[in-house]
Structure 1
Amino acid sequence: MTDVRSDAVADRLGDRPGSRPGARGASRVRTAVVWEILREVLDQSAKASGRAALDVVDAGGGTGGFAVPLAELGHRVTVVDASPDALAALERRAAESGVTVNAVQGDADDLLGMVGAASADLILCHSVLEYVDDPALVFAAMARTVRPGGAVSVLVAGQVATALHRAVNGHFDDARRVLADPDGRWGDRDPMPRRFTRESLAELAGVAGLRAGEVHGVRIFADLVPGGLVDGDPEAAEALITLEAAASTHPVLRDLATQLHLLAHRG
């Protein structure tokens, strides 16, 4: 990247080798795997296109937890979200950071109509598919909105992890229901409409015409480690980030992750 602030932002996100998380270690550990994947795909896209500033769309990006740092790196970022309050918070956050993020009110399945066909180098859809009416429609919209050669980053709740967490807390019947339910829910009072497995996530991408890459596990250990062990302890946070990265593609451990991350490409 050519933006003069990119090194400073990368340090804050933990994307650079040797960067230290400082007091926000616990929160950074939970997103480190995703940021590393995004850093790599953005670098590859910039090299392939010859453009340092890429077009990024964040579907359901809310208050800009990913969008604002990406704008700080010099990219053109558009956030599409149904909540006007979230978009207002996004604009305040962007202004405080000295960047501009295009805020568009709308639903993720209307992405194509709001942003336009083949208009994005990278599309983010993080913690959204659990709540939409039809995940397949959102995938189809993203597949048409991303440019040929572009990428789609999807982050969802993992089904297996929820079964494990319910069992550990003594809710054994709930854990059994999570594993048996097609949507990965533990009952009528479950606040999450659906959860995913590696297979169901990759299948959705394939049906939409996207080439699914490897699914990474996110927050395998981070949610089990008390925040006090890493907040204020840069060395402990860095060690946990390294462990999360190593486990993210482990054939067994990644299924136990709280979230699953898929990077898919349009051929």
Structure 2
Amino acid sequence: MARQLDEQIVGRYPVGQRLRVLDVGMGQGTQALRLARAGHQVTGLERDATMVAAARESLSAEPEGIRERMRIIEGDGRDTGVHFLPGSFDVVLCHGVLMYVEEPDPLLAGLARMLAPGGLLSLLVRNGDALAMRAGLAGDWAGALGAFDTTAYRNRLGLDVRADRLGTLTATLAGIGAPLQAWYGVRVFTDTAADDAEAPADVEALLACEERAGRTDPYRGVAALLHLCGVRG
């Protein structure tokens, strides 16, 4: 997914331009730090105090130049209007957050307002059109049948969350002025792997297959996750 995001950034902005990036629900700050290391000015927003502490610890180990390029704010992604002025960012990330939000439209509208004209909104969501895949591949036929007509599911943490459908999000992005420009599938082949599974010996081949499938129909349509990129008009 990092490669897909970089592809979209390179396609929209001159090489070497220092972008203003907002990472909403940044978690431990892995993606935010990666972008700060690449020279961008990054703001990470996270409401979980444990995650915030982990991100600050990671940042403290970075060179001074990177520390100066990144700031961390403890707060909720639904309150971006409290923290920032409209149009304050060139890139807004919201990865792995929507599944925890019962009504995502207000959050997405708020994120779109944070974008400068031509700005990029990057979303990573659970694919509501493929919820039956994991259960079906595991031989859980009852679970697979029950997943066809819902966007609710239980994640690996045991939490009851929700997925999003490509068609619905496409309409939402158009409605908030950041229409969909590109989308990718993420974890087409690897969603059933255990979280603690060792990397296979041919990991490069695996990544190449995932990268190709994530860009290719019909494979990307059954990916566990969708990476959507909208652009502010």
Q: Is 1:46 the equivalent of 2:13?
A: yes
Query: In structure 2, what is the equivalent of residue 35 of structure 1?
Result: 2
In structure 2, what is the Cα distance between the partners aligned to 1:88 and 1:117? 27
Q: Which moved more, 1:196-205 or 1:220-229?
A: 220-229
Normalised by the size of structure 1, how large is the TM-score? 0.77
Query: In structure 1, what is the equivalent of residue 191 of structure 2?
Result: 223
Say which SS state the counterpart of residue 180 (structure 1) adopts.
Answer: coil
Which of 32, 37, 44 pairs up with 1:67?
32
Gaps of 5+ in 2: none
Q: Deviations over 1:79-114 (max 9, x none)?
A: 111112211111111121322221112111111321
- Identity among equivalent positions (%) equals 28
In structure 2, what is the Cα distance between the partners aligned to 1:41 and 1:211? 14
Which of 89, 103, 109 pairs up with 2:72?
103
Q: Letter of the 2:171 partner, please give it.
A: E
In structure 2, what is the Cα distance between the partners aligned to 1:228 and 1:81? 29
Q: Letter of the 2:8 partner, please give it.
A: V
Q: Which moved more, 1:77-86 or 1:161-170?
A: 161-170
Q: Which moved more, 1:126-135 or 1:50-59?
A: 50-59
Query: In structure 2, what is the equivalent of residue 266 of structure 1?
Result: 232
In structure 1, what is the Cα distance between the partners aligned to 2:190 and 2:135? 17
Q: CA deviation at 1:52?
A: 2.1
In structure 2, what is the Cα distance between the partners aligned to 1:262 and 1:112? 23
In structure 2, relative to structure 1, the CA distance for the partners of 1:229 and 1:84 (3 Å cut) is closer
Query: In structure 1, what is the equivalent of residue 177 of structure 2?
Result: 209
Normalised by the size of structure 2, how large is the TM-score? 0.88
Gaps of 5+ in 1: 1-33
Q: Letter of the 2:54 partner, please give it.
A: A
In structure 2, what is the Cα distance between the partners aligned to 1:241 and 1:170? 25
In structure 2, what is the Cα distance between the partners aligned to 1:81 and 1:208? 23
Q: CA deviation at 1:67?
A: 0.5
Say which SS state the counterpart of residue 160 (structure 2) adopts.
Answer: coil
State how many pairs are aligned.
226
Query: In structure 1, what is the equivalent of residue 41 of structure 2?
Result: 76
Q: CA deviation at 1:40?
A: 1.9
Query: In structure 1, what is the equivalent of residue 53 of structure 2?
Result: 88
1:46, 1:53 within 8 Å by CA — same for their partners in 2?
no
Query: In structure 2, what is the equivalent of residue 252 of structure 1?
Result: 218
In structure 2, what is the Cα distance between the partners aligned to 1:40 and 1:249? 12
2:92, 2:120 within 8 Å by CA — same for their partners in 1?
yes
Which of 217, 223, 240 pairs up with 2:206?
240
Which of 180, 196, 200 pairs up with 2:164?
196
Q: Letter of the 1:43 partner, please give it.
A: V
Which of 65, 71, 88 pairs up with 1:119?
88
In structure 2, what is the Cα distance between the partners aligned to 1:94 and 1:247? 34
Q: CA deviation at 1:225?
A: 5.8
